Amino acid sequence: MAANYLSGKEIRAIAKENKKVMKRLEAYKYRKCDESEYLTEMKNAENILEIDDLHTYFFTDQGVVKAVNGVSFDIPKNATVGVVGESGCGKSVTSMSVMRLLQAPTGQIYSGEIRFKAKDKDGTVKTYDIAKMPMRDIFKIRGNEIAMIFQEPMTSLNPVFTIGQQLDEVTFIHDPEATKEDAKARSIEMLNLVGIAMPERVYNAFPHELSGGMRQRVMISMALASNPRLIIADEPTTALDVTIQAQILDLLRDLKTKIDGSIMLITHDLGIIAEMADYVVVMYAGKVIEKGTVQEIFHNPMHPYTIGLQKSKPTLQSDSDTLFNIPGNVPNPINMPDHCYFKERCTNCIGKCSGEYPGMIQVSPTHFVACHLYEEDQKNG
């Protein structure tokens, strides 16, 4: 593409600038600091996770990709929050930022806060700002208070270790004094919990001997083995066939009550959201464009993008032979202009849309939307 052509001079300038910023952020990540530096307070005590104005950038040779560009949402206790959006909208990057698993050194949390209410080993409740935590302290949370389930069960397990070896590891991380028998007992208990029929056999199996659904169950059991208070499920059913999808979703729903925790469910499937989530966050091009309870988003979608997403869902009632699609493509995330990113694809544009990016407008106590169309309403009503 001619528009994306960069001269050698420009590339060198970008690389130089990137190197400077990456070096600073990497040094910040590996700094030594006292716990007090990243202790903070929750805005709302009912929440377990608060993401506040999070910016996660990738410093590539083509320029800075603002994959997550000012995202804010909360995950309340014992709730399932669904994050929806099309591919490349930054939903996975948001979850990776929470886990601090971004591909270094290009991927970096640039600014923002990720407040997480953690329980220490002795039971005291502390609120950490995950975005400010140095990497050597991240183990207080990662795989401990927050566990993650990935999209690709086929490749997410290490092929050269048995399921048992990989599950036992989790127990050993939390309890270094545990004996081999303790770990095995716990692993088998976890395999039972996720509904694996022959846990003893699966325990001794290698990943390649299991089906995709079984592997995803193993991944879930691995996430559960650490007794997490928040599970991040990044498209847990995308790679599975439909019947297995339903089983895995049922399993996740059961588990939420069993572990008494919260789930952050990332998906592009609105059906799953409707079935599973209490709250929905809709993301577009690295920004949250609408968020609210599941009823609000499904019965009263406000942002033109959310409305489009709903329309593009296949239904049996429709007479049409073709699926509705939102015209156009997701914009190139480098050097985005300061106006609504959905403008080019939106059918309801007004004059104001060429102006600066719309702020979040509160429609109801829980419903927020970022669209110029509703600004007047707010003033009037």
Partner 1 sequence: MFKYIIKRLIMSVFILLGVSMIIYFLIRLMPVDFIQDKINAINQGGATVSEETVNAMYEMYGLGDNSFLGILKGYFSWLGALATLDLGTSFVYGIPVAQVIFEHMGISFAIALIATIFEFMIAIPLGITAATHQYSFRDYIVTILVMIGISLPSFFFGQMLKDVLALKLGWFPASGLVNATASFSGVELLLDYFKHMFIPILTIVILSIGARMRMTRTNMLEVMNSDYIRTARAKGLRESVVINKHAFRNTLIPLVTSLAGLLPSLFSGAIITEQVFDLPGIGNIALDAMNRGDIPFIMGYNMFLALLSVIGVLLADLMYGLVDPRVKLE
Residues making contact with partner 1 (CB under 8 A):
99, 101, 139, 142-144, 147-148, 150, 152, 155-161, 169-170, 173, 206, 208, 219, 222, 226
| 148 bridge partner residues | 232
Q: How far is the CB of 1 from partner 1 (least distance, A)?
A: 27
Nearer to partner 1, 69 or 187 (CB): 187
Peptide bond into 199 cis (omega under 30): no
Cβ atoms of 264 and 232 closer than 8 Å:
yes
**Sequence-distant (≥ 6) Cβ neighbours of residue 114 within 8 angstroms:** 49, 50, 51, 52, 54, 97, 98, 129, 130, 131
Q: How far is the CB of 327 from partner 1 (least distance, A)?
A: 34
Q: How far is the CB of 218 from partner 1 (least distance, A)?
A: 10
Nearer to partner 1, 158 or 318 (CB): 158
Strand ranges of the sheet holding 287-293, from the earlier edge strand across to the other edge: 146-149, 230-234, 262-267, 80-84, 279-284, 287-293, 368-369, 361-362
Nearer to partner 1, 60 or 156 (CB): 156
Nearer to partner 1, 109 or 273 (CB): 109
Q: How far is the CB of 223 from partner 1 (least distance, A)?
A: 8
Q: Give the span between the Cα atoms of 381 and 4, in whole angstroms.
A: 45
Nearer to partner 1, 141 or 277 (CB): 141
Nearer to partner 1, 208 or 313 (CB): 208
Q: How far is the CB of 370 from partner 1 (least distance, A)?
A: 31
Q: How far is the CB of 28 from partner 1 (least distance, A)?
A: 17
